[in-house]
Amino acid sequence: MKLKETLLNTSEVNLVSNDDLGDDHVATSSETPLRPDAFELDDKLKIELIAKHFKEIMQILGLDLTDDSLKGTPNRVAKMYVKEAFSGLNPKNKPRATLFENKFNYKEMIVEKDITFFSHCEHHFVPIYGKVHVAYISSGNVIGLSKINRIVQYYAKRPQVQERMTIQIADELQSVLKTNDVGVVVDANHMCVSSRGVADTNSKTGTAYFSGKFDDENVKKEFLNYINAK
């Protein structure tokens, strides 16, 4: 109740100054930073509170919320944040992995490439989007292909840092598949680079995670050659 009352009654938010960080690419942990009370509020109340505060932001910007085009925006943004863009924050939305016995005794790498993802930079809350490429070598089970996509989307649907997201996807696959033999490569566009600041629309950011057999240069090269093939 204390958290609810605080949020409902607060009309002024005091932010810790981070001017000394500027636009530096800062990540503190491979875990998404969440407070212990992050899920005390249900989704309905979160939407109500976010809509209220987003309405205040729009009013501060000088927008006329009586206009038919704008009056529904606060609620639309709030629903998008809770139900879509940041739905991966809530553990109840974590996908359940479907595993199948590797009856063919397939010992080579299994690759799923060009998985499209949309996320948001946690520094400016603007989009990150691109492709994730995943490979693993079975230790006895294989995972349903659509479940790999769902794992990627789950970790993308939260305020993110690309390096963290890469590690989170790899850690989840290792945990689910009970194997260390995992490779993950992420190629992404960052709107915080292209739509603001230096406004560079051509650059991309690449991150990678290799473990187990993928630390072997030949296995790593095979994976990279495959994902780079036309």
Could you tell me if 178 and 187 are in contact, meaning their C-beta atoms sit under 8 angstroms apart?
Answer: no
Active-site residue among 53, 112, 124, 163? 124
Could you tell me if 148 and 114 are in contact, meaning their C-beta atoms sit under 8 angstroms apart?
Answer: no
Residues 146, 90, 141, 114, CA torsion sign:
positive
Active-site residue among 153, 172, 174, 190? 190
Q: 132-135 long-range contacts, Cβ below 8 Å, gap at least 24?
A: 132/169, 132/184, 132/185, 132/186, 133/184, 133/185, 133/186, 133/187, 133/223, 133/227, 134/169, 134/173, 134/182, 134/183, 134/184, 135/109, 135/110, 135/111, 135/182, 135/183, 135/184, 135/214, 135/223, 135/226
Active-site residue among 162, 168, 172, 174? 162
Beta-carbon contacts of residue 187 (< 8 Å; ≥ 6 apart): 130, 131, 133, 204, 205, 206
133 flagged as catalytic = no
Active-site residue among 120, 160, 168, 192? 192
120 flagged as catalytic = no
Active-site residue among 56, 112, 122, 163? 122
- How many CB atoms sit inside 10 A of residue 209's CB? 20
Active-site residue among 120, 123, 160, 168? 123
162 flagged as catalytic = yes
Active-site residue among 121, 133, 172, 174? 121
192 flagged as catalytic = yes
59 flagged as catalytic = no
Annotated active-site positions, please? 121-124, 162, 190, 192
